Structure 1
């Protein structure tokens, strides 16, 4: 009987521990891998989204790499729906295991992309059938230059050498819960997708850039403060759209992963706050709705406090507050636009059309953040389209707002020069035209006439039909007056029912009569739309400046006195101001050097001279004098311009 070596049991245990136990672990791992469903990549489906169930492993704390996960040291994979919202956080991550296998007639170049530009970190480990491992990384916490394949969102390249299965391990980490859509597509199909996405993004951003340039040129010309706010709003909306599409991380800040990680939250907060403040500025709610104006102001300013909370609080806690803010912002904007529309403002429909689609997009994103709706990565394209659509609509609303302000300023500027009811010149401004007309007639010998017109039955209409109908008849009279005037003839309102007109170029009474007869005849036609029928009786007093040179300060009063002398039913409704009659001046002595009457001595009449003794001599003609022209030309010292010569005297 052979003896047993004393160390034989120890050697058996050592051999079992060295060879059998790893073999059992490997078999257990192969059994777990065999349980993972295989996704077959065929040429019939060039692009698709992974649905159904996937193997998921939750990881807490710092990562330990791929090998412990494959060996099962971090736990076992469990099947979960592919569209489930995964519980992620600052200390939590997940591993997703996929097994793919391409067909014999399928190209080897494939792509796995996750269309989430705002995800923090993704690490893909590709384990082929030979055991070789290939690693690719992406995410907004990683600088774009460290991405294996830079793109607007994480995109990984897969090169399947043969038709044997390949294992894909994807590690995802994010500051809050998120759904992770996985899309597989061939290389050629993926290039087409990228081209379409870039064309769409470029079109939207190009439209915003064109609107920004146009409004910049308008601001350069007008220097309106509201257009400056619109420029800031357009730039901010362009940044929000670029960040939502992932272009901002690729173009604007590819080397600052810290800011790129926070920009996906900070820029939308700034966008919602700026939209609220811009709505308050355009709609001028401080005039009609002071309470709503304060609410919009404080809500827009609250975005700054929420932005600071992104660094002051935990990001997952701040995300809940951001979701509530995103939820309330569109509701407040839509409520404000409906309130403005209800008040009858022309800006209401355009503001509602601008903020309603944008509000729906933001509401859906807020509901995703609050776990009320599943995450749909396509919603960001709708939001970008809604934002781009709102920019030109807000520009049109801004144009209407500026037009209203210009009209108000114009009315305020002309309120001291034009009558509020009729639009004619006020008395003071009309008197300036009267003075100029009299001056032109006196010094430049330009023909003209001044006419004062009165609606004689205005007081009767007001007493019988009321003030409203009387003012309406007065406006009809002004319309009839404009029909007999030229555009260059100034007209003003002198009294309640009296108007003044300056007719330039009219030098005779017949021309004045022709126009005024047409006016009087048109007034006798009943006004349409009034029951009972109402006619206007015009009385006219005029002065032709070629016949009379009146005092410009009193000519209107003289014409009004002439109107007061016309009877209400006179058959001569047109009167002209006559020139004043001049009386002969009394005969007075020409000089004060004559002696007084007391010193005058009466002289007796002289006696009749005696008759001449000789006959009178015949008259001889006097020598002919030189003409005035000859005298002037012969005497060089003679100055025919007597006033000028008098002016030269000392």
Structure 2
């Protein structure tokens, strides 16, 4: 029995020894393995730390760096910088790394944490003699307390000799994040800062120029949409400046509380405002009422989320913010893709504007929800996408404004313009006609009045239908506009009759020069119509230098003159002729006896409703007196009009 008892006792001791080795082996191995030193040599003037970092979690109020150095707060453990730090309102994490420079390397170095929105970073450098130098940075720390003011925490330290120096960083933030660390010499870091500031300044300067351009457009047009877009551009500029860290550096360096709060508030307002702007410019309330309500309430919801941190804990609010940032771009992309597939003119521009910034915001939201790893360079892409979207959205807004102005202009012109041809309605044209005749009578202003008719319109309608006839009528209006000036009023008097007032026309020859071109263009077959169709124009006109017509009856008189033109007439232009008066016979002077007779022969005054009063002119030689044929004294159209006139 004693032999078996010794064997069991020995086996038990062996099992205990193995178990003890398994338990304390990793601890001893960690204690035995020294911390890797970051070698700072001339070949690596700037690099990102990837290994050789230890971490220590701290809960509750901190006791300073001395207890941490002495191990009173616990032992450090190896840390992977690609892992997210477990941070919170009452939780902080200490990071420890050891650096050592070579004899050929500059003693002045900078360690930076390229995260502008981090709450607080405490930097401690402990040299070989135990001397401790401390620095602070973060958006909850006033810029005056930063040792090196920058867009994100920068800490400058000096390595006086080649012995190792321990660096401790206390990281504090309201939510867990990944913290990248970069080391660089002072010279190299200044070059990096210069490049970053040039890039960020260029983008921010572009936004400022766009803001000024929007202000000028609003000042010129007084359009409310332009004014609200100016406010939107200003908000996007603040969002970009906050994301770059320039807002904390330039705009509110001495208000750390607002600087910390603005990192959340401004992006929320940016996403909500972008959604509301998309709703406004795409006019979803008419075609997609359900989508319109979703966009409206989603955009307004950013205001409630801004106040969320005062109601719930900041960690819960951060999760809700991440969900909002994730849903906003998805909703915008869905809307723009839907509009693009419809083939509208705005769909492609809206998609080009919202797609790049939507992808950037999606990636940032994924980082907040711990779906993607933290990439500090992604904010530069987001800023570039936002800057690119501003002019694209401005162009889309311009197109939308032009469409709305065109619709409102057509609505306002519905009472003054013909719906089919766009010419003035009869009442409006009569007002221009009365004004032209009054000017000709009182100011001797030369002008002419004409009625132009498409003589074969009824034939085209009977043979080819109403649709083709209306197309021909529109082609006739286009041809008519080519011979008119912008100041010449034109109106639609009947189905195929148009009235025009030609200012500055003092003779029949000047009138014929214009109308010959109109008649000749009508004889050219209209393109795209089969069989070939030509337009036959008939014109009746009056030159106001020759005749002063009655404005109330002149259109009827010209209409009668127009009806006298045969369909196949070779004289498609007719003029209203002045009245020819015979000279009074000469009688010998017989004292006072002739005066009563002259008074009796004086015709009564002509009322305004009678036909036009013609200007008396000397009696020309008539055809009967000269013996010439009548055709020599009839109106002819100068120039050959070609066959079929």
When normalised by structure 2's length, the TM-score is: 0.81
Change in 2 beyond 3 A, CA 1:33/1:199: farther
Deviation at 1:557, TM superposition (A): 2.0
Provide the residue aligned with 2:60 in structure 1.
61
Provide the residue aligned with 2:93 in structure 1.
94
Check the 8 A contact 1:456/1:537 in 2, yes or no. yes
Check the 8 A contact 1:226/1:282 in 2, yes or no. no
Unaligned runs of 5+ in 2: 1-26, 583-595, 598-645
Provide the residue aligned with 1:475 in structure 2.
474
Deviation at 1:363, TM superposition (A): 0.6
3-state SS of paired residue (1:373): coil
Change in 2 beyond 3 A, CA 1:221/1:33: farther
- The answer to whether 1:412 aligns with 2:403 is no
Provide the residue aligned with 2:144 in structure 1.
145
- The answer to whether 1:432 aligns with 2:444 is no
When normalised by structure 1's length, the TM-score is: 0.80
Check the 8 A contact 1:94/1:173 in 2, yes or no. yes
Provide the residue aligned with 2:191 in structure 1.
192
Check the 8 A contact 1:229/1:278 in 2, yes or no. no
Return the alpha-carbon distance in structure 2 between the equivalents of residues 141 and 62 of structure 1. Answer: 17
Change in 2 beyond 3 A, CA 1:57/1:482: closer
Check the 8 A contact 1:215/1:227 in 2, yes or no. yes
Structure 2 counterparts to residues 557-596 of structure 1, below 5 A: 557-570=556-569, 573-577=572-576
Return the alpha-carbon distance in structure 1 between the equivalents of residues 399 and 487 of structure 2. Answer: 31
Return the alpha-carbon distance in structure 1 between the equivalents of residues 167 and 442 of structure 2. Answer: 103
What is the RMSD of the two structures over their aligned residues, measured on CA atoms? 2.8
Rg comparison, structure with higher value: 1
Deviations 1:53-85 (A, max 9, x none): 521112222222233323333222221212111
Change in 2 beyond 3 A, CA 1:365/1:555: same
3-state SS of paired residue (1:179): coil
Deviation at 1:553, TM superposition (A): 0.9
3-state SS of paired residue (1:35): coil
Deviation at 1:485, TM superposition (A): 4.1
Return the alpha-carbon distance in structure 2 between the equivalents of residues 168 and 521 of structure 1. Answer: 93
Return the alpha-carbon distance in structure 2 between the equivalents of residues 55 and 448 of structure 1. Answer: 96
Change in 2 beyond 3 A, CA 1:321/1:566: same
Change in 2 beyond 3 A, CA 1:312/1:447: closer
Unaligned runs of 5+ in 1: 1-27, 584-589, 592-650
Q: Which moved more, 1:474-483 or 1:540-549?
A: 540-549
Return the alpha-carbon distance in structure 1 between the equivalents of residues 352 and 443 of structure 2. Answer: 62
Return the alpha-carbon distance in structure 2 between the equivalents of residues 162 and 182 of structure 1. Answer: 23
Provide the residue aligned with 1:360 in structure 2.
359
Return the alpha-carbon distance in structure 1 between the equivalents of residues 509 and 150 of structure 2. Answer: 87
Change in 2 beyond 3 A, CA 1:305/1:573: same
Check the 8 A contact 2:207/2:387 in 1, yes or no. yes
- The answer to whether 1:315 aligns with 2:314 is yes
Provide the residue aligned with 1:297 in structure 2.
296
Return the alpha-carbon distance in structure 2 between the equivalents of residues 527 and 450 of structure 1. Answer: 27
3-state SS of paired residue (2:478): helix
Check the 8 A contact 2:38/2:52 in 1, yes or no. no
Deviation at 1:184, TM superposition (A): 0.8
Structure 2 counterparts to residues 246-645 of structure 1, below 5 A: 246-506=245-505, 512=511, 515-546=514-545, 548-570=547-569, 573-577=572-576
Change in 2 beyond 3 A, CA 1:285/1:81: same
Deviations 1:115-157 (A, max 9, x none): 1111112122222111222222222222222223322211112
Check the 8 A contact 1:480/1:519 in 2, yes or no. yes
Change in 2 beyond 3 A, CA 1:146/1:30: farther
Deviation at 1:445, TM superposition (A): 4.8
Check the 8 A contact 2:37/2:52 in 1, yes or no. no
Return the alpha-carbon distance in structure 1 between the equivalents of residues 206 and 490 of structure 2. Answer: 50
Return the alpha-carbon distance in structure 2 between the equivalents of residues 238 and 123 of structure 1. Answer: 30
Q: Which moved more, 1:126-135 or 1:344-353?
A: 344-353
3-state SS of paired residue (2:50): coil
3-state SS of paired residue (2:549): coil
